[in-house]
Amino acid sequence: MTKEILIGNVKIGGDNPVVIQSMTNTKTEDYMATLNQINQLFKAGCELVRVSVPTIEAAESLKVITKNSPIPIIADIHFDYKLAIKSIQNGAKKVRINPGNIGSEEKVKEVVKVAKEYNVPIRVGANSGSIPKELEHLDKVDALCEAALKEVRILEKYGFNNIVISVKSSDVKETIKAYEKISTLTNYPLHIGVTEAGTYEWSIVKSSIALGHLLYKNIGDTIRVSIAGDPIYEVIIAKKILISLGLRQGLEVIACPTCSRTEINVEKWAKLVEERFSNINKNIKIAILGCVVNGIGEGKDADIGIAGVKNGFVLFYKGKIINEYKEEEILEKIEALIEQEVKE
Ligand code: SF4
C-alpha cells in the first residue's frame, strides 16, 4: 500500500479512493478564466486541478485562484524555483517540479524548506520525452523509473518525504511497465497517466488501456486522462474509467449497437439519459435498447431499462416489464425509478 498524503483537504494514497485530476489550459495569469474552467471541471467531478505557473504574474494570480477554487490547486513549475516558492505561499496545495531543470540543489533545498513549512507535497517524476542524458543508454522503462527515483533521492536528501511520483510515457506499454516497476520500488503515492495521449479518441483508447490495466492491479492513487482538447472530457473519461472498474459509484449507461430491428434512435436516447442523470453518485445501470425482441434479455443485468417499440418505449425495472410509455413521458419515469433506487 502506498503512503497516505494530504493535498489540501484531499487525502491520496493508502486505501483512499483513487482521485481524479485534471489541468487547466487557460492562461493562469487570467484568474477569472482559470477559475471559470476550474469550476466547470469541479462540476464534472474533478477533485484536484493543476495549473501551470510560467510567470510571476501567474504565481500572483494563484492568490485569487486558490482562495476561490472549490478544489485544491497544484502548481506546475519548470525552471524557476522562486515561482514554486511563491505558488506555495499563495495557496497551492501541491507543486509539480522537476529538480533536474530547477537548477542547483541549493534551489531545490529552498523549495523543500517552504514546502515543509506549508505541509505541501511535491510531485516529481519523469516523462518519456525528458529522460536525462546520462540515463538515455538504459531501457526506456528503466530510464523512466531511475529518472524519477533520482529526483526522489534529491528531495529525501533534504529530509523531505511528502512526495508523489509519476513515470509517464506516451506509449501505452511503456507506461504500464514503468508504473508496474516503480510500484515495486517505492511506496510513495503514484500519479498515473499516459502523457501526450493525443486527441479525444486516441486518448480514450490509450488512457483506458493503460490506466485500466494499472488500476485493476491496484496501482495508481491519482489519475489524469490527458487530452489535446477541452479538459472537461479528461474528467468525464476518468470518471467513466473508475466507474467501469468499480472504483467509483455512478451511473453506467449500456446501449445496444442497434440493428435492423431498432425502433428508436438508441444513440440519441442513450446520450439524453447520460446527460440528464450523470451526477448520480450511486451505482445504477440503465439499459437503452433498440427493440424488445432481444432487448429485455440483453438488458436484464441493468437496474432500469427502456426498449423501443412502435410508439414509444417499454420500461423495465430489475428485469421486469413495468409498462409502455410515450417518448415525452419516459425520462420522468426513469427519474422516478432512479429516485427510488437512490433512496434504497
Ligand atoms: S436490442 Fe434489438 S435493436 Fe438492439 S441490437 Fe439487439 S436486436 Fe437489435
pLDDT of 102-159, one tens digit each? 888 899 999 999 999 999 999 999 888 778 888 989 999 999 999 999 999 999 999 9
User: How many whole angstroms separate alpha carbon 89 and alpha carbon 63?
Assistant: 8
* Helices assigned H by DSSP within the chain: 31-44, 56-68, 81-89, 99-102, 105-117, 140-157, 172-185, 200-216, 232-244, 266-277, 295-298, 327-343
For residue 19, give the 3-state DSSP assignment: strand
- pLDDT class of 66 with cuts at 50, 70, 90: very high
pLDDT at 136: 87
Pick the atom of ligand 1 nearest to 295's CA: 1
Residues 6+ apart with CB under 8 A from 280: 250, 251, 338, 342
- pLDDT class of 197 with cuts at 50, 70, 90: confident
- What average pLDDT does this structure show over 20-30? 98
Share of the chain above pLDDT 70, in %: 100
Rg (CA), the chain: 23
CA angle 115, 101, 125 (to 5 degrees): 65
Average pLDDT, the chain: 94
User: How many whole angstroms separate alpha carbon 255 and alpha carbon 266?
Assistant: 7
Q: Is 299 in the pocket of ligand 1 (CB under 6 A)?
A: no
Q: What is the DSSP letter of 3?
A: P
Q: Is 189 in the pocket of ligand 1 (CB under 6 A)?
A: no
pLDDT at 341: 86
Domain assignments of the chain as residue spans, ordered by start: 5-244, 251-343
Q: How far is CA 297 from CA 123, 163, 229, in A?
A: 49, 50, 38
pLDDT at 191: 98
- What average pLDDT does this structure show over 78-95? 96
pLDDT at 278: 86
User: How many whole angstroms separate alpha carbon 158 and alpha carbon 108?
Assistant: 9
More confident of the two residues 342 and 16: 16
CA of 261 to the centre of ligand 1 (A): 6
Q: How far is CA 48 from CA 19, 26, 70, 89, 240, in A?
A: 7, 16, 9, 18, 17
Single pTM value for the model: 0.92
Q: Is 83 in the pocket of ligand 1 (CB under 6 A)?
A: no
For residue 96, give the 3-state DSSP assignment: strand
Parallel, antiparallel or unpaired: strands 304-309 and 312-317: antiparallel
Q: Is residue 60's pLDDT more than 80?
A: yes
Residue closest by Cα to atom 5 of ligand 1: 258
- pLDDT class of 39 with cuts at 50, 70, 90: very high
- pLDDT class of 26 with cuts at 50, 70, 90: very high
User: How many whole angstroms separate alpha carbon 113 and alpha carbon 119?
Assistant: 10
CA of 271 to the centre of ligand 1 (A): 17
Q: What is the CATH topology of the domain spanning 5-244?
A: TIM Barrel (3.20.20)
Architecture of domain 251-343: 2-Layer Sandwich (3.30)
Q: Is residue 57's pLDDT more than 80?
A: yes
| Closest by Cα among 2, 61, 1 to 26 | 61
